[in-house]
Amino acid sequence: MSKMENIVEEVIAGNVAGVAELTQELVDEGAKPSDIIKDGLVAGMDVVGGRFKKNEMFVPEVLIAAKSMHAGMDIVKPLLTDGESSSVGTVVIGTVEGDLHDIGKNLVAMMLEGAGFEVIDLGIDLPADEFVEAVKEHQPDVVGISALLTTTMPAMEETIKTLEEAGVRDQVKIMVGGAPVSQEFANEIGADGYAADGSTATDIAREFVN
Ligand code: B12
């Protein structure tokens, strides 16, 4: 097995020290940082996402895999040259006002990072205006909105309306998610996409930027 294939395996296994060590070895051997990201770290998280979707891996394992991926990213990111950006696109993500749930949203954010997106995580309990400010400041390709309560689902629609009123709605693709959210609801409130898990969210975000 090559060192690159080893990185993939160690990301899946969530071996933080192992991923860091292998990443450093590949760097020392002259491997291209962008290749290490694409063929090692991101490739590993892709497998993790697929397994999570099929219920072959669970939340704690995904979190530790993401941590190991970050250990490698920390080493290679500073080495990327200007023309060799690791980012395939930018995503602003957050949980709507009145809602404090963030475990699922964090997972989605990590999967997106694992897929090479730059993710700006705004946190929880966010008034619609904060999404507007973030869109103006970061000019993302995608805005991800999370809600876990039936009582906070209307705040998703409110957020989209506020983005419209601020004149920035058309600059971004909007995806929504969270346990009570459905494709039907997403259509109803005018979102561009819906995903039931981080892996699908990543696929949708990739489609949005292509
Ligand atoms: C953990 C939890 C909490 C924790 C949250 C901790 C945290 N840091 O997040 C605490 C204890 C704080 C909490 C509080 C409350 N909770 Co609560 N909570 C849960 C619980 C058990 C798990 C949620 C979770 O993390 N799931 C695991 C993650 C991985 O799944 P997920 O969130 O669905 O995310 C996935 C997808 O939905 C999707 N996704 C998520 N976000 C996004 C965003 C985008 C853009 C995309 C594309 C996809 C996406 O991808 C994720 C990854 O696969 C659920 C029950 C359940 N089984 O869902 C109740 C639940 C959501 N809570 C509930 C309730 C009622 C409350 C409280 C009102 C309880 C109370 N009386 O105080 C408060 C409300 C606080 C508030 N204002 O938000 C109800 C909601 C009922 C309803 N229909 O509205 C639930 C369903 C429990 C129940 N059966 O009654 N809760």
pLDDT for 53: 85
Task: Say which CATH topology domain 3-84 has.
Answer: 1.10.1240
Atom of ligand 1 nearest to the CA of 150: 84
* Distance from C-alpha of 23 to C-alpha of 3, rounded to nearest angstrom: 9
Give the SS3 label for residue 35: helix
Q: Ligand 1 centroid to 187 CA: how many Å?
A: 22
Question: Which among 48, 101, 182 is the best mutation to test ligand 1's pocket, defined by most ligand atoms within 8 Å of the CB?
Answer: 101
Biggest CA pair distance of the chain: 54
Atom of ligand 1 nearest to the CA of 148: 61
Edge to edge, what strands does the sheet with 142-146 contain?
A: 118-126, 90-96, 142-146, 173-177, 193-194
Tens digits of per-residue pLDDT, 94-110?
Answer: 999 999 999 889 889 98
pLDDT for 90: 97
Would you say the pTM of this structure is higher than 0.85? yes
pLDDT for 49: 85
Site of tokens 């020392």: 28
Site of tokens 């979190």: 63
Radius of gyration, alpha carbons of the chain: 17
Check if 3-84 and 90-209 are the same fold.
Answer: no
More confident residue, 104 or 129: 129
pLDDT for 81: 67
Residues composing the chain: 210
* Distance from C-alpha of 67 to C-alpha of 53, rounded to nearest angstrom: 19
Please answer whether residues 23 and 72 qualify as being in contact, where contact means their C-beta atoms are separated by less than 8 angstroms: yes
With cut-offs at 50, 70 and 90, classify the pLDDT of residue 38.
confident
| CATH architecture, domain defined by 90-209 | 3-Layer(aba) Sandwich (3.40)
pLDDT for 82: 58
161 pLDDT higher than 90: yes
Q: Ligand 1 centroid to 121 CA: how many Å?
A: 17
User: What are the two backbone dihedrals, phi and then psi, of residue 99, each rounded to the nearest 5 degrees?
Assistant: -120, 125
Asked whether the CA dihedral 139, 179, 47, 70 is positive or negative, the reply is positive
Both tokens of residue 165? 């009123």
Which ranges constitute the DSSP H helices of 29-172? 33-35, 43-53, 59-76, 103-114, 128-138, 153-165
Any idea what DSSP says for residue 102? -
Residue spans of the domains in the chain: they are 3-84, 90-209
pLDDT for 103: 84
Question: Which among 59, 91, 131, 148 is the best mutation to test ligand 1's pocket, defined by most ligand atoms within 8 Å of the CB?
Answer: 148
Any idea what DSSP says for residue 137? H
Q: Ligand 1 centroid to 25 CA: how many Å?
A: 41
Both tokens of residue 160? 């989209």
Please answer whether residues 201 and 144 qualify as being in contact, where contact means their C-beta atoms are separated by less than 8 angstroms: yes
Q: Average pLDDT for residues 154-182, to the nearest whole number?
A: 98
Q: At what angle do helices 3-13 and 43-53 cross, to 10 degrees?
A: 40
Q: Ligand 1 centroid to 141 CA: how many Å?
A: 26
Tens digits of per-residue pLDDT, 40-88?
Answer: 998 898 899 889 989 999 999 999 999 999 899 899 888 876 556 667 9
pLDDT for 86: 62
